[in-house]
Chain A
Amino acid sequence: MRGNQLQFSQFQKLRLQKALDKLESLSSDSSVLWSVLTSTYVFVRSLLSRYKPKAGDIVIGRVIEVGQNRWRLDINCGQNAYMMLSAMNMPDGLQRRRTALDELNMRCIFEEEDVICVIVRDFQHDGLYLQARSQKYGKLSSGQLLTVAPYLVKRQNQHFHHLEHYGIDLILGCNGFIWVGEHVEARDDMIEDQINQSDPQVLIPNKNYTSEYICRAADAVRALSTLGFILTLEIIKGVIDLSLSTNLDIHDMLGSEFCVLVAEKEAERRSSNKNL
C-alpha cells in the first residue's frame, strides 16, 4: 500500500488480507498490461505515472502565475498548462475580445492559488493549452481539493456529479485532482430562502451539515485512494453511506478500521457484480 502509515491490529490485518485476496481472485487473469499496436510498436500503458493530457479531458488545476494574457496552471502533468484569456467567455456567454482593459483585469477573474476547472484544448509548440468556454467551468470555491493517482480516475462521459442527498458537488478531474465542494446552485437557493423566510437560524445547521458532508466525501475519496480502488460516483457514494450507516465520526474515516471495512465492502460489491 502506497505511503500508508496506518497501524493495523493482527485481526484487522487478517481481514484486510482476506478482502484483498478476494479482490485478486475476482480480477480477470488475462489483465493486459500492455497492448501491441503493430508489429514494430509496443504501446505501454503505465499505471503509476503523471497525468498524460488528452484533448477534451476535464481537469482541475491550480493557477500558479498570471501572465501577460494567459494564466499558467499546475495540472499535475509533466509541464505547466496555459489558459489564454481569450479561451474564456464573458459571463454572458459572448466571445471575449482582447482588449487592454481585459488584460489588466485578469486578476479579477483568477488569481494565483485559485483552483479552477477547465478542459484540455490542444497541444501547441510551446505547451499545453486549456479552455473554459461554458458556465460550468471556472473557479471553484468552498470545498476541498484532493490529489490522487491519475490512474484511479477513468475517463467517463460525466465528470461533474451533484450528490443531491448531501448537497455537495463532486468533480473527478482526469488529472487526479478531485474537487469536493458545496453545491453551487443550492447556495443560491439558500440565499433566496433566507430572504423569504427571514429566519437565518434555521439555515446555519444546514450549512454545517453541508460542510460535514464535504469532509465525509473527501475522507471517502482519501480512504479509497490509499487502498488503490478506482474512484467512481457509485463507489464514493457507497463509502459515504457506509460511514453514515456505521455512525463513524469523520476523523475515524481515515483510521485503519474504516479502511478494512471499505476493502471488505468493495470485495463484496465486486463479487456481487460478477455474479449478476
Chain B
Amino acid sequence: MEYVSPEGLRSDGRRPMEMRQIRAEIGAVSKADGSAIFEMGNTKVIAAVYGPREVQNRSQQMSDKALVRCEYSMANFSTGDRMRKPKGDRRSTEISLVIRQTMEECILTHLMPRSQIDIYVQVLQADGGTRSACINAATLALADAGIPMLDLVTSCSAGYLNSTPLLDLNYVEDSAGGPDVTVGILPKLDKVTLLQMDSKLPIDILENVMQLATEGCKAIANYIREILLENTKQLEYRRGS
C-alpha cells in the first residue's frame, strides 16, 4: 500500500515531517492532585496523578525514595470496534511499565521518602501513538501536581514507510507493520529516557528516524512548557498577594 503519495502527502494529508495537531488541558480531574488531557490529532489521553501520599502497602515503602506506580488502561470506546478487554492484559501491563520507568527517571524521588506517587492514564481515543501521548499527558499531570522533576519528559514516535521517514504515525501507518520508533527525551538535558522500536531498520536510517522523533519531542516540550507557564501565571494573578 502507498503511505506517501507521489506529491509527498500522507494518508491524512500531512507532509512526512509534519506532526498532528496537539492540544493540552490542565486540571481535568478535580479530586486528583494533578491531572491533564493530552490530544495528538485523534488520539486523546487523560492522566491523573495522586500523591505524594502515604504508601498503601507498607512492605513496598522505601526509606530513601518515593515509590512510583503507573496504571495504563484503554477505554472500551477508544477503538473502532468496541470490545471488552480484560484488565491487566499483556499490552497494557507493558505500557504501564514503560511509562513508569520513563517517569521514575525524571521524578526526583529522593526528595519524597516514604511516599508513593500514583499515575493513572487512560486512552479515550486511540489513533496511533498512544504510548507517546500517555507519556506527555503523564508529564503534564505530574507537573500540575507540583512534583519535583529533573525535566519535562516528552515523547514522540516516528516511522519509516515507502523509504521515507515519517513523524508521528497515526493508526493506519502504525498498523502497516513497518518500523515504529518511539523516543522519549529530557529536552533541556538532551538525554534519552525511552527508545523502543518494532520491526527492523538499517542503522544509518535509524539515526535519521530517531533524529526526526527527537525534533518532534522538542516541539511538544515547547508546547507543554507554554501551557504550564500560562497556567501558573493564571493561578498566581488570581491568588494575588
Give A residues with C-beta under 8 Å from B: 2-4, 20, 23-24, 26-28, 31, 33, 44, 46-50, 78-80, 127, 151-152, 227-230, 266, 270
B114 at the interface (CB under 8 A from A): yes
In the complex, what residue of chain B is closest to A32 when comparing beta carbons? Answer: B236
Query: Separation in Å of the B67 CB from the closest CB of chain A?
Result: 11
Check A48/B240 contact, CB under 8 A, given A78-B51, A78-B52, A78-B53: no
Query: Separation in Å of the B227 CB from the closest CB of chain A?
Result: 14
Counting from the closest, the 9 A-B pairs by CB-CB distance are A3-B30, A49-B146, A78-B52, A27-B237, A46-B146, A228-B238, A78-B115, A2-B27, A230-B239
Check A3/B236 contact, CB under 8 A, given A48-B145, A50-B146, A78-B52: no
B54 at the interface (CB under 8 A from A): yes
Check A229/B239 contact, CB under 8 A, given A49-B145, A50-B33, A79-B114: yes
Q: How far is the CA of A226 from the CA of B148 in the complex (A)?
A: 25
B238 touches A229 (CB 8 A): yes
Check A23/B237 contact, CB under 8 A, given A48-B34, A49-B146: yes
Q: How far is the CA of A47 from the CA of B147 in the complex (A)?
A: 11
27 contacts between A and B (CB under 8 A): A3-B31, A20-B238, A23-B237, A23-B238, A23-B240, A27-B236, A44-B148, A47-B232, A47-B236, A48-B144, A48-B145, A48-B235, A49-B146, A49-B147, A50-B53, A78-B54, A78-B66, A78-B112, A78-B115, A79-B53, A151-B239, A228-B235, A228-B239, A229-B240, A230-B239, A266-B240, A270-B240
Query: Which bucket holds chain B's interface residue count?
Result: 20 to 34
9 new A-B contacts at CB < 8 Å, known A33-B233, A50-B52, A78-B53: A2-B30, A20-B238, A23-B240, A24-B237, A27-B237, A49-B145, A78-B112, A229-B239, A266-B240
A47 touches B146 (CB 8 A): yes
Q: Which of B66, B114, B146 contacts A48 (CB 8 A)?
A: B146
Query: Separation in Å of the B233 CB from the closest CB of chain A?
Result: 8
Q: List residues of chain B with CB within 8 A of the CB of A26.
A: 237, 240
Q: How far is the CA of A4 from the CA of B238 in the complex (A)?
A: 15
In the complex, what residue of chain A is closest to B33 when comparing beta carbons? Answer: A50
Q: How far is the CA of A131 from the CA of B74 in the complex (A)?
A: 46
Q: List residues of chain B with CB within 8 A of the CB of A229.
A: 238-240
Q: How far is the CA of A23 from the CA of B115 in the complex (A)?
A: 37
Q: Which of A27, A33, A80 has the most chain B CB atoms inside 10 A of its CB?
A: A27
Q: List residues of chain B with CB within 8 A of the CB of A20.
A: 238
Q: Which of A3, A27, A79, A227 has the most chain B CB atoms inside 10 A of its CB?
A: A79
Contact residues, B117-173 vs A (CB, 8 A): 144-148
Q: List residues of chain A with CB within 8 A of the CB of B233.
A: 31, 33
In the complex, what residue of chain A is closest to B51 when comparing beta carbons? Answer: A78
Q: How far is the CA of A49 from the CA of B112 in the complex (A)?
A: 13
Q: List residues of chain A with CB within 8 A of the CB of B147.
A: 49
In the complex, what residue of chain B is closest to A20 when comparing beta carbons? Answer: B238
Q: How far is the CA of A127 from the CA of B240 in the complex (A)?
A: 33
In the complex, what residue of chain A is closest to B148 when comparing beta carbons? Answer: A44
Q: How far is the CA of A169 from the CA of B167 in the complex (A)?
A: 60
Q: List residues of chain B with CB within 8 A of the CB of A228.
A: 235, 238-239
Query: Separation in Å of the A217 CB from the closest CB of chain B?
Result: 20
Query: Separation in Å of the B65 CB from the closest CB of chain A?
Result: 12
Q: List residues of chain B with CB within 8 A of the CB of A152.
A: 239
Q: How far is the CA of A266 from the CA of B146 in the complex (A)?
A: 27
Q: List residues of chain B with CB within 8 A of the CB of A270.
A: 240
Q: How far is the CA of A103 from the CA of B112 in the complex (A)?
A: 31
Q: List residues of chain B with CB within 8 A of the CB of A48.
A: 33-34, 144-146, 235
